Amino acid sequence: QVQLVESGGGLVQAGGSLRLSCAASGRTFGTYAMGWFRQAPGKEREFVAHINWSGSNTIYADSVKGRFTISRDNTKNTGNLQMNSLKSEDTAVYYCAARPTTANIKDASKYDYWGQGTQVTVSS
């Protein structure tokens, strides 16, 4: 069992940066792959980034590639999403999620555990 709690969201101007954190409980977090998703009002939840259990492999949505960086520290049971050069279209609730396998990583339904979400608002 893994419990996830996001933090770090807020209001930022376009071009600014935010760093989201995902604190995990449970001894098995280090064996789980982790993903970040986001959901804007009236839209479906969409994939943002993924990192495998060891942190050696990362994958990004095209819309955030080169601007966002996903990372994790298994010694601290935390994951992070560094977001730079933010745009108004990045405004959404951001969720971290965890799963024991790495197939179909962009499919939200394949993730077993979810945090409650943190709001990111980018003003233009």
Q: Looking at residue 101, what is its pLDDT?
A: 83
Determine what percent of the chain is predicted with pLDDT higher than 90.
Answer: 89
Q: Is the per-residue pLDDT at 29 higher than 90?
A: no
- 100 pLDDT band (50/70/90 cuts)? confident
Q: Looking at residue 27, what is its pLDDT?
A: 73
d(CA 25, CA 37): 19
Q: What is the pLDDT of residues 35-90, one digit of tens each?
A: 999 999 999 999 999 999 999 999 999 999 999 999 999 999 999 999 999 999 99
